[in-house]
Structure 1
Amino acid sequence: MTPRKKVFTSSQRIVVKVGSRLLVDDQGVPSAQRIEELVEALYKLRQKGKEIILVSSGAIASGMSLLGMEQRPKHLPELQVCAAAGQSRLMSYYEQACVKRGFHCAQLLLLADDVRDRHRHLNLSNCLNTMLRKGVMPIINENDSLSVKEIRFGENDELAALVGIMSKSDLTVLMTSINGLHTLDSSGQPDKRISIVNDMNDDIRSLAGDTDGNQLSTGGMHTKLNAATILNQVGESLWIIDGQDFSALDRLAHGDDIGTLFPASLDKMSSLKRWLGFFPETQGSLGVDLGAEKALCYRGKSLLPGGLISVCGTFEKGDIVDILNPQGDIIARGQSNYSNLDLNIIKGHQSSDIDELLGGSANYAEAIHRDNLVILKEET
C-alpha cells in the first residue's frame, strides 16, 4: 500500500477546505453548479464511510455578486456586509445539493473566542461530534461579518487545521488552485512538484510564497505550510491538492500521486493538550535554562522552579503561559500552578524550598505539571 493510500484508508474523519476561487464560475460569481460538483465529490467520500467536515470560503465573493460589486471592497464594514449577505446564499446552494443526495448540512460560523475559551471549545466539539453522528455534514467558516483578522488575512487554511485539531480528524485536505508545493528554479519560479514532505524544515518553508493577488484569494502557500506544521504536531496528516476539478477527491481516495502530502509521523495528541497547545490566549511567558529545556523536550519532565530564569506578564494560578528557551523560542505551553508573583519568588530554587519561600502556601512541587503542558518543539 502506498503512503497516500495508507493515509486515506486509515483516515476515518476528514476535513476538506475549499477556497473561494474554486466555487465561482467564469465571471467570478459563486456558482450553484460548482457547489453541486463539490458536494457530489464529498458524497462519494461519505459513501466510503468517511466522516466529512467542510471548511468553505466564499461568503464574501457571494456577497460581492449579490450586491453588484466587481472589485473586492477595501473597507472593513463593506467586507462585513458582503460576508453577511453572501453566507445565506452560499448555504442555500449547499443545502440544496446535499438534500438531493439524501443528507443535510449545517452551518457553523466561528470566532476566535469560540475555540479559545475552554467551555465554548468543548461545546463546539460536542456539537461537531453530534452532527457527524447524525449524518449531518458540518460546513464551517470564520464569521467574516464580525471577525477582523480573517477578513484581512484570509487564514482559512489555518482555520481548517484548527478544525482538524479540535475535531481529531485524521486528515485535512486543502483544495486550492495549484497542484501542491513546488521546488523553485534559478529564477525563483515554481519548478517540480514535491510529492511527499516527511520533514517540515527551513528549506521547505523557504519554498512558500504569498498570495498571487487574485481578487478572491487572500492566503498563500505559507498559510498551508503553517497548517501542515501544526497538524503534524498533533499526529495528523495534511494533503494539498488542486481542486479546480473536484474529482481530484476521488483520485485522492484511490491514493493517486497528486498534490503534496504531509503525513503524520507522531502519535495522536490528547484533547487537553491540543487545546493547551493551539487555542487559548497566553497570559505570560516563562524563560527556562538549557537544562530545563532538555528535561521538557527530550525527557518528558515537568517544569520545576529551579529551571526558571525569567517570568513575564501578569497571570494567576491556572492561566496559560508560553515557555521560552534561552534563545527566546517558544518550546512549550502550559497551565501554571502559581501566579507570576509567586513564580518570581521561587524561580531558580529547589522544589523543597517553595513552602518556606511562600510562607507555607506551597501546593505544588512543579511550576507546571507535565500533564498540563504541551511541547511545541519537535522532540528528537
Structure 2
Amino acid sequence: MRAERPLLDSRSYRRVVVKVGSAVLSGAAGRARQLAIAEQIAALKAEGRQVVLVSSGAVASGMAKLGLKERPKTMPGKQAAAAVGQPVLMQLWEQAFAWYDLRVGQVLLTAEDLAHRHRYLNARHTLETLLEWNVVPIINENDTVMIDEIKFGDNDQLSALIASLVGADLLLVLSDIDALYDADPRMNPTASPVRYVERVDAEVMRMAGDTPGHAGTGGMRSKLLAAKKAQDAGIPMLLLPGEDPRSITRALQGEPVGTFFAGGNKRYSGRRLWLYQLPKPAGEIVVDAGAARALRQGGASLLPAGIREVRGNFGVGEAVRCLDAGGELIGVGLVNYSSAEIERIKGAKTKDIERILGYNHSDEVIHRDHFALAGELSPSDGS
C-alpha cells in the first residue's frame, strides 16, 4: 500500500486538471483562496501547461447571495440556490483570472452527458478546442437540472472522469481535507498523514471516513474513489490542502504536501475506459455462474444462454452493468439488443435467436470487444 514517496517530475505534467471543493471557496477566506488558486494556475500556464478547472461552489455561492444560513435540504431548494450561485461563481473566477489576462469558459455537465458515447466525445472536442484557444475551461455539475438518476454524486467523481476525458497527466484535488490520514483526524488526534499511496485498495479504503464537509457533498471516501478512477486511467492524483495558498506550487516543486496517489498501470483506454468509468449505465443484466466465469476469466462475449434476469429499460447500443447471481459487478458493456429483446431470448441458445425474435442482429448480447471488466472497486461506487 504505502512506500517512500517518490520525487515528482513535474515537467512531465503538461495537462493538469484542478478540482476545487466548496469548502475551499466558502467562508470569510474563500475569496482569498480563489485568487491564490487563479495565481497558481496562471503560473502553470505560463510554464506552457494546459489546465482544466473543476469548481464546486454554485450552491454555496447561491446561499451567500440569498442570505441562507443552512444548505437547502430539498432538491428544488438546492437547484434554486445553484441557479442563483452559478453565475456569481463564474463571475468571481472570471475576475480572478483577468488579473493574468486569461479567459475562462463555463462547461456544465450531468452524468447523462458522459453516459452517451457521442455526447462524451462532443464534450471532449469542446474542451480540446478551449485548451487550444488558451482558455481555462471551468467545469461544474449542472446542479440546476440534476436529479439522482443523472447525478455524478459529487465533483470529486466528476474531476476524475474529466481527467480521463481530456487525457490529463495529473489530477490535483484541493480540499479542506489536507491529506489522507491513517485514521479520521476529527475523531482521533493522534492520526498521521499518509504522504504516498501506490494503490487504492481495501486497506486504504478503510482509512476513509464517510462524513462530508459542511459546505460540500464529498468526504475522504469520495476522494479515494476518485483516486481509484484516476489510477485505472493511469493518471496520478494529488490531494492538497486548499487552505494553503501555495499548495499547488509547493507540491509541484517536490515538497511533501498532501497525499500523492500513484498513477499505476493504465487499465483501459478509448471506448473501454469510457465503459469502465460510466457514471450511470442504462440498466443491468444478471448472469449465471458459467457466464460470470467466462466473462471474468475467459475474456468471452455474453451469450443469451447465460442471462438470468434483465433490469431496466434500454435500447440497442446502450451501456449496461453485468452482475453475477450474488449481485457483484462483473463489468460494463454495450448491448446488441434492447432490454425487451433480451427478456425474450434470455436463457436461449444462440441458434434459437432468429426463431424467437424473427431476426438475428448478433450471436452475442454483448461482444467482448465492447465489454470492460470491473476492478476491485465498483466504477460507479459512491457516485
Q: TM-score, normalised by structure 2?
A: 0.85
Distance 2:203 2:327 in 1: 22
For 1:138-194, what per-residue CA distance to the aligned partner results, in whole angstroms no more than 9, with x for missing partners? 0111122332459x9961111212222222223221111122111128996261212
**3-state SS of the aligned residue for 1:334?**
strand
**CA RMSD of superposed structures (Å):** 3.2
Q: Which residue of 2 aligns with 1:255?
A: 254
Deviations 1:258-316 (A, max 9, x none): 22222222226333223323336434322334443344334433223444444444444
Identity of aligned residues (%): 37
In 2: Cα distance, 1:144 partner to 1:76 partner = 9
CA distance in 1, matches of 2:152, 2:360: 45
Q: Is residue 18–residue 54 contact of structure 2 (8 Å, CA) maintained in 1?
A: yes
List per-residue Cα deviations over 1:117-141 (Å, max 9, x = no partner).
3332222111111001111000111
- Distance (Å, rounded) in 1 between the aligned partners of 2:353 and 2:78: 56
Change (3 A) 1:354 1:316: farther
Q: Could you say what secondary structure the match of 2:192 adopts?
A: strand
Correspondence for 2:8 among 5, 10, 20: 5
Return the letter of the residue paired with 2:194.
I
Shift of 1:40: 0.6
Query: What is aligned with 1:366?
Result: 364
Counterparts of 1:289-328 in structure 2, within 5 Å, are 289-328=288-327
Q: Which residue of 1 aligns with 2:160?
A: 161
Secondary structure at 1:266's aligned position in 2?
A: coil
Q: Secondary structure at the match of 1:184?
A: coil
The one-letter code of the counterpart of 2:366 is I
CA distance in 1, matches of 2:308, 2:77: 48
CA distance in 2, matches of 1:107, 1:76: 23
Equivalent pair of 2:198/2:262 in contact (CA under 8 Å): yes
Secondary structure at 2:251 match in 1: helix
Query: Could you tell me whether the CA contact under 8 Å between 1:354 and 1:362 is conserved in 2?
Result: no
Q: How many residues align?
A: 373
Residue of structure 2 in register with 1:232 after alignment: 231
Paired residue secondary structure (1:276): helix
- Structure 2 contact 152–158 (Cα < 8 Å) conserved: no
Q: Is the 8 A contact 1:320 1:336 kept in 2?
A: yes
Cα distance in 1 between the residues matched to 2:273 and 2:343:
28
The answer to whether the 8 Å contact 2:5/2:196 transfers is no
- The answer to whether the Cα contact below 8 Å between 1:2 and 1:255 also exists between their aligned partners in 2 is no
Q: 1:283 to 1:17 in 2, by over 3 A?
A: closer
SS at match of 1:88: helix
Give the secondary structure class of the aligned counterpart of 2:265.
Answer: coil
Alpha-carbon distance between aligned partners in 2 of 1:184 and 1:288, rounded to the nearest angstrom? 39
Which residue is equivalent to 1:141? 140
Please tell me the residue identity of whatever aligns with 1:10.
S
Residue 345 of structure 1: how far off its partner (Å): 5.6
Change (3 A) 1:40 1:149: farther
Q: Which amino acid aligns with 1:271?
A: G
Instruction: State the 1:9 CA deviation.
Output: 3.9
C-alpha distance 363-138 of structure 1, shift in aligned 2 (>3 A): same
| Alignment CA distance shift 1:354-1:171 (3 Å) | farther
TM-score for both structures, normalised by structure 1: 0.85
Equivalent residues in 2 for 1:17-96, closer than 5 Å? 17-26=19-28, 30-31=30-31, 33-96=32-95
SS in 1 for 2:138: strand
Structure 1 stretches lacking a partner, 5+ long = none
Against the structure 1 CA distance between its residues 268 and 236, is the aligned structure 2 distance closer, same or farther, given a 3 Å change threshold?
Answer: farther
1:360 shift after superposition: 6.7
Distance 1:86 1:311, change over 3 A: closer
Q: Which residue of 1 aligns with 2:284?
A: 285
Alpha-carbon offset, residue 13 of structure 1: 1.9
CA contact (8 A) 1:53 1:139 kept: yes
The offset of 1:202, in angstroms, is 2.4
Q: What does the per-residue CA deviation read over 1:59-85, in whole Å, with 9 as the maximum and x for residues that have no partner? A: 222222223333334444443333222
Contact 2:61 2:85 in 1 (8 A): yes
Cα distance in 1 for partners of 2:328, 2:104 equals: 42
Match of 1:130 in 2: 129
* Equivalent AA in structure 2 for residue 204 of structure 1: V
2:16 equivalent among 10, 14, 18:
14
**1:221: Cα distance to partner?**
0.8
Amino acid aligned to 1:211: T
1:375 aligns with 2:378: no
Structure 1 equivalent of residue 329 of structure 2: 330
- C-alpha distance in structure 2 between counterparts of 1:348 and 1:153, whole Å: 34
Counterpart residue number, 1:170? 169
Q: Which residue of 2 aligns with 1:113?
A: 112
